[in-house]
Amino acid sequence: MHVKKKKLIIANWKMHPGSAAEARVLFHKTKLTGGRLDAVETVVCPPSPYLGLFAHAGTSRVLLGTQNVFWANSARATGEISPEMLKDLGVSYCIVGHSERRALGETDEIVSKKLKAVLAEGLIPVVCVGEKERDVEGRYFGILKTQITASFSGTKKAQFRDICIAYEPLWAIGKSAREAMEPRVIREMSIFIQKVLSDLYGAEAAQLPRILYGGSVEERNTAPILSEGGVSGLLVGHASLNAEEFTKMLKIANAL
Ligand code: PGA
């Protein structure tokens, strides 16, 4: 029997909403819809102070994720959160190296350390990569290659099945569906990411990580990106804060 692979849809709430009460409502609505869908795995990544509100509230269909993580379980690291603490709260997924964190100083080397720490704790990393801009000379290919090579350094092939890569071109983040990357180009980029992995680790291993797209995914481009973009799922920012829109996106993904 052919088992249909579930689509992975991750809600990245960033630094929203402004109160725990609003976060509870948003989580509840998302969980209610996500919990009914058998072809989608929904992941909610709230800001860290709200993680405790949803500790162990995840199910096999709606899981808890985090927007950031530290690279060690035990360290003098004021303000950081360890993989062990996250696991203890029932967190399953960790976004690593989001462009907004890279803009605050997170380097490929840090991303690589975090990736290894997350895997060691048995959590699923969502490694974000993406170029700042598209230049006509195609330099963005090289930039992406460097990001992937450096971020994955020290990672073992055997761990690839548990890794997600979110391709998020910075220029397409936080806009509207009209300005998002076109599905055809997303497909090209996901093939390129696999090619980079294949050159580094071999063709078989390169097939294992799930590749997601993020950057202005809204209700109107959910279906085209999932069906023509060659990706296994989506990393959704602003649209995930609107429960009505996000639950529609989950249903669209479930119906494909
Ligand atoms: P956006 O954000 O959907 O608002 O573009 C995506 C992200 O930054 O992960």
The owner of tokens 């058998």 is 38
The residue count for the chain:
256
- Amino acid occupying residue 152: F
Ligand 1 within 6 A of 174 CB?
Answer: yes
Distance from the alpha carbon of residue 227 to the mean position of ligand 1, in angstroms: 19
Distance from the alpha carbon of residue 223 to the mean position of ligand 1, in angstroms: 17
- Amino acid occupying residue 58: G
pLDDT of residue 180: 86
Ligand 1 within 6 A of 7 CB?
Answer: no
pLDDT of residue 5: 85
**Spatial contact of 248 and 177, defined as CB atoms under 8 Å apart:** no
Distance from the alpha carbon of residue 46 to the mean position of ligand 1, in angstroms: 14
- The answer to whether the pTM exceeds 0.85 is yes
The number of angstroms, rounded, from the C-alpha of 1 to the middle of its chain's C-alpha atoms is 29
Examine the residue annotation and report whether 100 is marked as an active-site residue of this protein.
no
Distance from the alpha carbon of residue 1 to the mean position of ligand 1, in angstroms: 36
C-alpha distances (whole Å) from 22 to each of 27, 46, 184, 241 are 9, 11, 37, 10
The protein residue with its alpha carbon nearest to ligand 1, atom 7, reads 237
pLDDT of residue 1: 46
pLDDT of residue 24: 98
Ligand 1 within 6 A of 254 CB?
Answer: no
Q: Catalytic one among 121, 168, 218, 238?
A: 168
Per-residue pLDDT of the chain (256 residues; tens, 9 = 90+): 445 689 999 999 999 999 999 999 999 999 999 999 999 999 999 999 999 999 999 999 999 999 999 999 999 999 999 999 999 999 999 999 999 999 999 999 999 999 999 999 999 999 999 999 888 888 999 999 999 999 999 999 999 999 999 999 988 888 888 888 999 999 999 999 999 999 999 999 999 999 999 999 999 999 999 999 999 999 999 999 999 999 999 999 999 9
Q: Catalytic one among 98, 106, 131, 218?
A: 98
Examine the residue annotation and report whether 98 is marked as an active-site residue of this protein.
yes
DSSP per-residue letters across 22-60: HHHHHHHHHHHHHTT-SSEEEEEE--HHHHGGGTT---S
Sequence-distant (6+) residues with CB within 8 A of 22 are none
